[in-house]
Structure 1
Amino acid sequence: MIIDTTEVRAINSFSRLESLKEVYGLIRLLVPIFTPIFGITIGILIIVWLERKLSAGVQQRIGPEYAGPFGILQALADGTKLLFKEDLLPSRGDIRLFSIGPSIAVISILLSYSVIPFSYRLVLADLSIGVFLWISISSIAPFALLMSGYGSNNKYSFLGGLRAAAQSISYEIPLTPCVLSISLLSNSSSTVDIVEAQSKYGFWGWNLWRQPIGFTVFLISSLAECERLPFDLPEAEEELVAGYQTEYSGIKFGLFYVASYLNLLVSSLFVTVLYLGGWNLPISFILIPDFVGINELGGVFETTIGICITLAKAYLFLFISITTRWTLPRMRMDQLLNLGWKFLLPISLGNLLLTTSSQLLSL
């Protein structure tokens, strides 16, 4: 029997080509998934380092400086320590609720990043209901905290979970009319369309100027949703030890720690998208091609510039939230609920009514 070596080589080449295509397809599938996760992880490490350094500056102390240059690896060292610490379980608690609570909190917040446009060509899912998807997803996290507090079989944890649920409901309702007002102005609920609607006049085209009342309400409600001071009542150390986190240790406590910073970052990104023009420069986009030629460069350069602008605006909100932590005292629970229901909710509804009236008159 005579074997044609040319045919055998052709078959081998074809099989190698098919294998390469499969590997390439797998890489194309995994890269869009792991790239945002890697970027978000780096962002969280930077936020933790910034908060510690800014807090140290406000309190006139040094802050972390030994783990890596300028202490920038301190958050990574703390995470590694939590990863290897013993995971303790309450003997009389509901172990299933106790165990899945931190995971639900992290996953629900991570899903919100899918609709955030970091640049014109860099968004995982450009959905027509993008901002409302974020609102619906963000309402899941308090249930995870309530599950964790109930499953801990600890009175401080349970009170912390109840506070988290009450606080989320109280401040998510004023948040929604603010988002509705932005959707009316942009004639769309897509995050990409909202950013593009602010691109015409540069700095003066941002929704910050067209919705100053909504921006103020959104800013306060976002801090309350993130449970940042002065709204950190669900984990108040002086009253509830650590709230819903009291019985947690090891990696489960680390997940709560990550979830809080993930929520803070996603809130700052949505402030950027809804009110600060997203990836758009403060200078009018009409004037940029005459001086910089950004339209001709395009591609990777344009995407990189968009990411840098988006993150710079987001970190401005982070700076405000960090300095607020060491400026304002913690509120009482009745003051917290009164602010949400009796003050922010009527203002946000009135702002929505004014926005609707102005849009109807402009038709």
Structure 2
Amino acid sequence: MAARSGTLRRYLVVRLLLVIPNVFVLLTMVFLLLRVAPGDPVSAALGGRLPPEELARRRAAGGYDDPILLQYWNYLSHVFRGDLGTTVSDNRPITNILVVNGAATLSLTVVAILVALAIGIPLGLLAARYRNSWLDVVIRIFGVLTYAAPVFFVGVVAIIIFTGTLGWLPSGQQASPIAQATVEPVTHIFLVDALIAGDTESFVDGVKHLIMPAFTLGLLITGVFIRLIRVNVAQTLRDDYVEAARARGIAERRVVFQHAFRNAMVPFVTVLGLQAALCLGGAILSETTFSWPGLGSQLVQYINARDYVAVQGIMTIYALVVVGVSLLIDFVNAFIDPRVRY
């Protein structure tokens, strides 16, 4: 037991140490990609709107006249101090964008993943249980279609059907203007804030606004979950210990859920974490389609405004989230499967 505990501890320490070069590489890539663009962020965002003297003053104040290595050092030092800068176009701290708009993206991503799990896991298990049957074929076709369908296309179709034709659901924002005005932002996650305020009507309104963007984004990764569960469970069902469980008279449903599915969890958890990070990228399209006030929609607005400081800050947030999710995946896998530690 002590040896296993020491192995797990050593594995976790190694993974934590590997985070340092990963973060360094990602931050360097973000910095260089934004510096490839011609000019400087101040001129790009405010050029033609301010006199040349004011532009020159703001460039100097932002350090954009400094040598590139000094700019790089200042960028890294500010990031590690938790200072991601201030936008040029609207003078808004990036940390404020992270708190306010990041909360909206987090709520959308979490619900989208829950939707994908609720659809993908049962269908994947059914496809594995009845593989090569007509049901398996239908589920696999559904998985391919959900994976291949563009998020914005599915979103537009959903808006046309459920908002324009049927009038069942609203098409944009986290909630109606009245609900947003009555609920005080505490966590900036609207549904949580509505619960804290005890405002049931606003909570229901927020749920209605969340349904379409969450289902649209969730369908983006449902196909991945279906295929992954089907392949791994079908492979596990052919193992010797599963055949032994069947020989002992264990019901097939129990064999599938308690034996095959449990041992197929390690690759599933790995892909689940990666798809959660992918959801953040997919959220850019879904947030733009549904006017959802998250990081993705803010990123698009700042790109259109050519506010490279804001773009750099938001991309830095995305990079750090990806590293954090990858680290969490390694930790969970180490606890699920002892073989990962060696």
Bin of the TM-score, shorter chain as denominator length = under 0.3
Q: TM-score, normalised by structure 1?
A: 0.25
Larger helix percent: 2
- Between the two structures, name the one with larger relative contact order (CA 8 Å, sep ≥ 6): 2
Q: TM-score, normalised by structure 2?
A: 0.26
